[in-house]
Each structure stands twice: as structure tokens, then as C-alpha cells.
Structure 1
Amino acid sequence: MRAMRVHELSENIDVLRMDEVELPPPGPGEVRLKLRACSVNFPDILMVQGKYQFKPELPFSPGMEGAGTVASVGEGVTRLKPGDRVVAGLRVGGFAEEVNVPEAACRPIPGAMDFAEAAAYPAAYLTAYVALVCRGHLQKGETLLVHGSTGGVGLAAVEMGKLLGATVIATSASDEKLKVVKARGADHVLNVTQGFREKVKELTGGRGADVIYDPVGGDVFDESVRCIAWNGRLLIIGFTSGRIPSVSVNMPLIKGFSVVGVRAGEYGRRDPEAGRANIEAVDRLAAEGRIKPYICARFPLERAVDAMRMLQERKAVGKVVIEM
């Protein structure tokens, strides 16, 4: 089978190359998936560059989440059978035609989603759910400020915030991209190019945002500290700007806000019962059609680098998917 693999870590993602790989049979408790789609996530780029906290052994195929059909099953697999349509959390391995994965990492594709949609929703919406429900405790009627709202995790947070009854202010540096965010339910959209602090205060009657969802970091974080409400929660999702910011601790003291880290996967690994409940909640929303990822581009496997570059160059809106 074919797989796009990394043989050496590099700042330049062009190091990915197509290999012919022979997979061993699925081991005990494993299933072999014939992948039909894999979403592209920012950590895929960081892994190629050796900058992500999880560092897979070389050579490896990027790809954290995929969807496809079960091709065969290993000993002890009882829940799945060949032909089942499933979505799988992979961490790595998704940029390939087939992959062996633990049965426990697979679950049925919810509702009427196609393979691309199924591959695109789990990580983004789980991150948004854990951030807003478990870590941010977003309440109906509160104001949610979503940075990086045109990206996959940002757009998911906009939709999740509306489902939770919040007033959503969404930011980006592109007016054109913000048109999509507005169409997906944001109450207000702001271009951050000229700053956003005063506009957020104006929209909230001077209070500031109750919850701020920040996958960007850098200057965006610095300015967020200046427009957060008393008892606000500033959620740290990531640092796509490239700069990890810091805050003087007198600011949370004076303004009474909390800085809260969000790692949705680690949340589930440390508390498996809560992790399962979170996944079930997101899957229910997907099965009911209340969440549906926005896919802006689909690429064939041989153009995986182009798909990654679309994220790297900030050209994507929502999700980018590789289809086999």
C-alpha cells in the first residue's frame, strides 16, 4: 500500500515522500482500516518539523484522524467486523491507504456523514467541547471570543459556542474568511489587523469577554488580557502565531480572570471515563446533524504536502482533507 512518510525531521515539509509499505497483519485487539479520508491538522506540520510534544519514531506517516472501512480484524476484536464504516483517532499514520489501529480507537461514523466529514470533525469539535464545557464552563448568555476562528478548531468553537447559548465574537485577519465564519453562526466578526480590544469592550458594554478561546497566542494573547471580563476564563489552545506568550501575574489578580490550559486528548487519557463521555457527547451532536465540519479543500494522497502547505500558509478556512 502507499503511504506519505517522513524519513527525516525538517523545517521544510517537502521532505514527505511516497513509499510502498507492507503492513503486517493486525495484531491482537487491532483492526486494519482501508482509509478513505484523513484530515490535516496543524500538529501534523509540527511533527514533521520535530516541534510537537509527541515525537513519533522515524519513518512515520503524519495524520491524526482518519475515516474508512474495516478491512480485517485481529484476534480478540469483537466490536467491529470487515466492512464497518468507522472514524479513528490515530495520532500518526493517516497519510496512507491503510493503517492498523487498536479497536478501541475506532467508533462508528455518526449519522449521514461522508468519509471526509467523518475524518474532519473529531479532533476539532472535541477540542472545542473540552475547552468550552469542561475547562471554560461557558454558560448560556455569556460572551465567547474566538480567535483564529477561520481555522478548524476555531470554527468548531464558534459553532459549539452557539450551541451552548453564548454570544460569539469571532476574529481573524481576513475579511473574506470571516464571511464564512459569519455564515456559520458567529454573532459578530472582527478583523484583528488593527487590534480588537476596544471593539470587544464596545460589543460587551465595557465588560469584556467572559471566555476567550485562543489557539493563536503571541500578540493575540497579549491583547486578550486587556479585554477579558471579571471572572473570565482565557483558554490556551495552542500557538499558531509561533510565539508562546507570557502574562504578568498581577493581571489575573487585578482582573480576577483565570488562564486555563486545554489539551483535549490528554484530558481523556488522564480521566478515561470523562474522556469517553466527552467523545459520546460530540458524536451525539454529529449524529443529530447539529455539528458538521466545513471542508474548504480536498486533496489526493499524492498531494499531501500541498494540503499541509495550505494550513501552513494560512489559506485554509475550516478543514482540509486528504482523500484516498
Structure 2
Amino acid sequence: MRALLCERHGPVRDVAWRDIDDAPAPGPHEITIEIDHASVSHATRLLIEGSYQSRPPLPFVPGTEAVGRIVARGTAVSRLAAGDRVVAVSRWGCYAQRLTLPEYTVYRVPDGLDALTALPVPISYGTAYTALLWRAALQPGDAVLVLGAGSGVGLAAVEIAALLGATVIACASTEAKRQAARQAGAAYALAADADLANQVKACTGGVGADIVFDAVGGPAFEHSVRAAAANARMLSIGFAGGQVPAVPLNLLLVKNIALHGFFYGRYLGWTPADERIVHAPALQRCMHTLLDWARAQRIRPAVTAVYPAADLAAALAALETRRVIGKVALKIK
């Protein structure tokens, strides 16, 4: 089969579309998928450069999220069948024509939902849902500040928070991204600048945000601490801006703010312990909810840019220079 192969850690341009051995036959609790599309994320570059939390053994095929059809299943697999359309999360391996992986993070795409629409659900929408509900205990009426609201995970957070009755304040770098956030349900859309705290307080009657959802890091984090209400819950999701922020602990202290670090990858098997099987029941319930919401158009996941499989470097450049709104994908089949 053909796949994007990373033979050594280094620049993304060194990853090449090559012939490799076919995917192995599935074991008892495994399935084999013929992949149509796979998503592109900031973690893709980190995996290739060897700077992610976990390192696949070299050589390896990157890619952590894909949609396709099941072509084979193991003898112990009962909830999925050959021919099912599925969306899957893997530790790596999705930039290949076929992939064999454990069934625990594979989810059937409901009838009536386009497979490409389902592609952003497990990671972007799964991150937003579990962070906001499992970690920050979002309640109707909360004021939720979303940093990086034009990204895939940022727009997912806007949609989910608005759907669940929160007042969403979106923060994004361009007017086009702010408009996309408004269309996704944000009540307010603000620029990412040093005046963020004053703007958020103006939107909340001087109170501030009850929840801050931060996948950006850098200076925006400190601005958001100042924009947070007393007793707020802050979610540090990642550092897409490229800079780990300095945490102003004095402000957290005097405002009684709870800071939650949140690594969604723990539920997906992206830690050395590979805890997929432990979290599978809860995550399957979460995915059932999200995919049903997508089918009913209560949320609207979208892949806004699709690149040929061999153009991974261009896809990553578009993502990292913030030229796209939402999710980026590679066409594999």
C-alpha cells in the first residue's frame, strides 16, 4: 500500500509518499480501515520532528484521525462490522491507504452524516466537549471565553458551549475568524489584543468570564487571566501560538481561579501507558452524543481545506500560518 512515511525525525518536507508493507490482518480486538481522508493538526509536526509527548518507533506513518470503511475485523469485535463507515483516532498511522488498529477509539458514522463532516468530531469536538463538561463543569448561563476561536478546536468549543446554554465570547485574530465564530454561536467576537480584559468585562457587566478555554498559550493566556471572573475555571488545552505562557499565579490566587491542565490525548492512548481501553466506555458515549448532534445539525463540523496526500507540508503551512478557518485534511484514497 501507499503511505506518508517518516523515516527520521526532522523537517516535514522529508516525509515522502512511498510504497510500504500492507496493513497487518486484525487481531481479536482490532479492525482494518480503508482510509478516505485524514486530518492535519499542530501535533502532526511535533510527531514528525520528534518533540511530541510520545515518540513512535522509526520509521512510522503520521496521522492521528481518519475516516473510511472497515474492510476486516477481529474475532472479538462485535459493535462494528465490515463495510461500516467509521471515524477513528489512532496513536499514528492514518496517513496510509489502510490502517489496522484497536477498536477502542473507532466510531461508526451515523446514516445521514457525511463522512468528511464526521472527521473533526473525535479530536476537535471531543477535546472541547470533554474539557468543558468533564473538567470545567460548564453550566447554562456561564460566560465562556474561547481563545483561538477560528481554529478547529476553538470553533468546536464555541458551538458546544453555545448549544449547552453558555454565553460565548470568542477571541480570534482576524475579522473572518470572528465572523465564523459568530456564525457558530458566539454572542461576542473580540480581537486578540492587550485590551481583551476590558472588552470581556464590558460583555459581562464587569464580571468577567466564568470559563476560559485556551488552546493558544503565549501572551493571550495572561490577558485571559485578567479577563476571568472571580472563581473562574481556566482550561489550558495547548500552545498553538508556539509559546508556553508564564502563569501569573498572583492573579490566580487573589481571584480564586482554578487552572486546569487538560491533555485529551490521555483518553486516546497518546500516553506511554496507552489508556484507550480504560476510557473507552465514557469516550464512546461522548462520541455517540457528538456524532448524533452532527447528524441532527445541532453542531456543524466542517473540513474547510483538503490537500492531496503528498502535500502534507503545504497543509501544515496553511494551518500554522492561520490561513484557514476550521479543520484541514488530506485526501488519502
TM-score of Structure 1 vs Structure 2, range by shorter chain: over 0.9
Q: Which residue in 2 is equivalent to 1:308?
A: 316
Shifted more, 121-130 versus 295-304: the winner is 295-304
Is the Cα contact below 8 Å between 2:104 and 2:280 reproduced in 1? no
Shifted more, 48-57 versus 23-32: the winner is 23-32
One-letter code aligned to 2:15: L
Verify: 1:70 aligned to 2:70, yes or no. yes
Q: Unaligned stretches of 5+ in structure 1?
A: none
1:123 & 1:233 partners in 2: Cα distance? 22
Task: Report SS of the residue matched to 1:199.
Answer: helix
Verify: 1:181 aligned to 2:189, yes or no. no
Q: Which residue in 1 is equivalent to 2:272?
A: none
Task: Report SS of the residue matched to 1:210.
Answer: strand
One-letter code aligned to 1:280: H
1:276 & 1:192 partners in 2: Cα distance? 35
1:184 & 1:248 partners in 2: Cα distance? 31
Q: Which residue in 2 is equivalent to 1:253?
A: 253
Q: Which residue in 2 is equivalent to 1:284?
A: 292
Shifted more, 126-135 versus 239-248: the winner is 239-248
One-letter code aligned to 2:12: I
Is the Cα contact below 8 Å between 2:218 and 2:242 reproduced in 1? yes
Deviations 1:70-97 (A, max 9, x none): 1123343333332111111112111111
Deviations 1:186-225 (A, max 9, x none): 1111111453111111111111101000001110111111
Residue 78 and residue 166 in structure 1: after superposition, are their counterparts in 2 closer, same or farther (change >3 A)? closer
2:308 & 2:124 partners in 1: Cα distance? 21
2:303 & 2:287 partners in 1: Cα distance? 21
1:264 & 1:284 partners in 2: Cα distance? 21
Q: Which residue in 2 is equivalent to 1:123?
A: 123
One-letter code aligned to 1:295: V
2:66 & 2:227 partners in 1: Cα distance? 38
One-letter code aligned to 1:306: A
Task: Report SS of the residue matched to 2:252.
Answer: helix
2:29 & 2:171 partners in 1: Cα distance? 44
Q: Which ranges of 4 or more aligned residues in structure 1 deviate by more than 4 Å?
A: 270-273
RMSD (Å) for aligned C-alpha atoms: 1.8
Residue 182 of structure 1: how far off its partner (Å): 1.6
Q: Which residue in 1 is equivalent to 2:8?
A: 8
One-letter code aligned to 2:138: L
One-letter code aligned to 2:19: E
Q: Which residue in 2 is equivalent to 1:22?
A: 21
Task: Report SS of the residue matched to 1:266.
Answer: helix
1:110 & 1:150 partners in 2: Cα distance? 27
2:208 & 2:5 partners in 1: Cα distance? 46
Count of equivalent residues: 323
1:129-278 equivalences in 2 (<5 Å): 129-193=129-193, 195-267=195-267, 269=275, 271-278=279-286
1:158 & 1:58 partners in 2: Cα distance? 38
Is the Cα contact below 8 Å between 2:294 and 2:301 reproduced in 1? no
Identity fraction in percent = 37
Is the Cα contact below 8 Å between 1:89 and 1:105 reproduced in 2? yes
Shifted more, 166-175 versus 80-89: the winner is 80-89
2:315 & 2:164 partners in 1: Cα distance? 32
1:81 & 1:266 partners in 2: Cα distance? 27
Q: Which residue in 1 is equivalent to 2:307?
A: 299
Q: Which residue in 1 is equivalent to 2:90?
A: 90
